Amino acid sequence: MATTADIRNGAVMLFKDKRMRVVDFQHVKPGKGGAFVRTKLKDIQSGKLIDHTFNAGARVEFIRVEAKMMQYLYEDGDQSVFMDNETFDQLNVSLGEEKQFLKAGMNADLLFDGDEVIDVRLPAHVQMEVTATEPGMKGNTATGATKPATLETGYTVNVPLFIDEGDILKIDTRTGEYLERVSKA
């Protein structure tokens, strides 16, 4: 069995009879007292985030998951359809907030526990086109003000005032925030 020294970001562990993904961890060694590991865990089933502190060296149980690169095809009701890039088999998956960053033809890693899909890992950044936003005012960028912009998937993000409709933006899928405008080639 593994210990807290084996905890890594993205690892899947069994905690209180639930599959949890490690979102963040920090090994802390205070000057007085024993070391401990502070973690942020995401319940894969419900999506709920919890904070938990383990004593250093405590035993934890990791689940061996298999990641497979699959291509997102389309929405079918409340299910998202993915295709295996090698066998071309299609698979329906229920997604949560990850759905707002998926575009047709995009690849994502699906994590499997046996035959069951337990999580979807998106690329860290995606590029999306702005479909609706208020026009920007020339010279009005010194204040760092933002405005809402709707992207091609329907996701709304706050962007600087100089962003216009048709611009391609780089979005961080982990935080959902605007990173930069991508130049049109």
CATH of the domain at 135: 2.40.50.140
Indicate the pLDDT class of residue 137, thresholds 50, 70 and 90. Answer: low
Looking at the structure, tell me whether residues 54 and 78 fall in a common domain. Answer: no
Out of 39, 62, 85, a domain closes at: 62
Looking at the structure, tell me whether residues 113 and 130 fall in a common domain. Answer: no
pLDDT in tens, 91-119: 888 887 788 888 888 999 888 888 888 87
Calpha distance 55→126 (Å, rounded): 37
Q: What is the pLDDT of residue 26?
A: 92
pLDDT in tens, 9-52: 888 888 888 888 888 899 988 888 888 999 999 888 777 889 99
Looking at the structure, tell me whether residues 116 and 133 fall in a common domain. Answer: no
Looking at the structure, tell me whether residues 75 and 111 fall in a common domain. Answer: yes
Indicate the pLDDT class of residue 183, thresholds 50, 70 and 90. Answer: confident
Sheet holding 59-62, edge to edge: 2-3, 59-62, 12-15, 18-28, 36-43, 49-55
Q: What is the pLDDT of residue 184?
A: 67
Supply the range of the domain harboring residue 166.
Answer: 125-182
- Cα angle for residues 152, 154, 156 (degrees, 5° grid): 105
Number of domains making up the chain: 3
Calpha distance 93→105 (Å, rounded): 16
